Homo-oligomer: A and B are copies of this chain.
Amino acid sequence: MAAIDVTLGVDIGGTNTVVGFVDREGKCLAESSIPTNAHEPAESLVRRLHEKVEEIAKPLAGRITLKGIGVGAPNANFYRGTVENPPNLKWKGVVNLAALIRTYYDLPVAVTNDANAAALGEMLYGAAKGMKDFIVITLGTGLGSGIVAGGAMVYGADGFAGEIGHTIVDPRGRVCGCGRRGCLETYASASGICRTILELLAERREESELRNVSPQDLTSKMIADAAGRGDVIAREAFEVTGRILGLKLADSVAHLSPEAIILFGGLANAGALIFEPTKRHLEENLLNIFKNKVKLLPSGLKEGNTAVLGASALIWHELLKVA
């Protein structure tokens, strides 16, 4: 049997770095992970990464041909192949990650942030298969986004496009990690909905099981579970989140007229609790010509190795462009 072409997907997280060989159809043939060791320099991470990749490649020897390497990393710049002052890593300044990896592999290497990688993953293997215009919104601790327009990833002039999480809901609103106020991600994200709960508990008088949880321990999963049990405050928090997210996504549609918006990540796992109010408020705020046209979809990628699939899709997308 001939060897099959694969790419290597690498997802560099704050805690773990996951790698996997992925074929053109998005099948992961081998996967493993190493601790990221945030305090280490990038050189050591890449060295350990190389060892791990060689290890998982061994049982596949002769059966796969590695065509390229895609990397999802925080603050990654697609154009330059660099990672610039990543928030959760102690790497200093600008690290040319693509060049570091190429010292081990004489192959095409591409890097981008995890939200862009997720968008390409959805396009190649997931919910956006065959679509040319769509947006992926990652509702994790923050709100990440990846935009595809006319079949191409939107990187912008400097490689940093797709920061929908930092569009402004209210210039006098909640303090954001970015130093400004009222960014969408301070409302529509796992941490945002926790802040909404605190506001609602202050404002309203209804009983809620969430009154027994310290703010420090509160998670979006707890809120979803409470809402599932009919907790009025928890349900209202999803309504508020959907209202703000739907309103701002209507602005995104006005810019880009996507075929679909895909909600991804922890908070999206709350299903109808978040999809229903988001969809309702999105439609309510859409310009007439866009109404009832834009699909709001869950991810089509299997939970678990989505970041690796996204990273592998990044380099498949580049390889397919050249071919």
- Would B157 and A258 count as touching, CB distance under 8 A? yes
Enumerate chain B residues within 8 angstroms of A258, measured Cβ to Cβ. Answer: 156-157
For A154, give its contact among B149, B159, B287 (CB under 8 Å): B149
- Would B255 and A147 count as touching, CB distance under 8 A? yes
Majority-rule SS of A interface residues: loop
- Would A252 and B255 count as touching, CB distance under 8 A? yes
Cα A167 to Cα B248 in complex, Å, equals 8
- Is A155 at the interface (CB under 8 A from chain B)? yes
- Is A164 at the interface (CB under 8 A from chain B)? yes
Chain A interface residue count, Cβ-Cβ cutoff 8 angstroms: 42
- Is A285 at the interface (CB under 8 A from chain B)? yes
Number of copies: 2
- Would A255 and B257 count as touching, CB distance under 8 A? no
Enumerate chain B residues within 8 angstroms of A171, measured Cβ to Cβ. Answer: 247, 285
Cα A168 to Cα B249 in complex, Å, equals 10
Contact with B along A154-181 (1 / 0, CB 8 A): 1111111111101110010000001110
Interface residues of A, Cβ cutoff 8 Å to B: 131-134, 147, 149-150, 152, 154-164, 166-168, 171, 178-180, 247, 250-252, 254-259, 285, 287-290, 293
**27 A-B interface contacts by CB (under 8 A):** A134-B157, A149-B149, A149-B150, A149-B152, A149-B161, A150-B155, A154-B255, A154-B256, A156-B257, A156-B258, A157-B258, A157-B259, A159-B257, A160-B290, A161-B256, A163-B254, A163-B255, A163-B257, A163-B289, A164-B255, A166-B287, A167-B250, A167-B251, A180-B285, A180-B287, A252-B255, A255-B255
Q: Given contacts A149-B156, A163-B290, A168-B251, list 18 more A-B pairs with CB under 8 A.
A: A131-B157, A133-B156, A133-B157, A133-B161, A134-B157, A147-B255, A156-B256, A157-B258, A158-B293, A161-B257, A162-B255, A163-B254, A163-B257, A164-B254, A167-B250, A168-B247, A171-B285, A251-B251
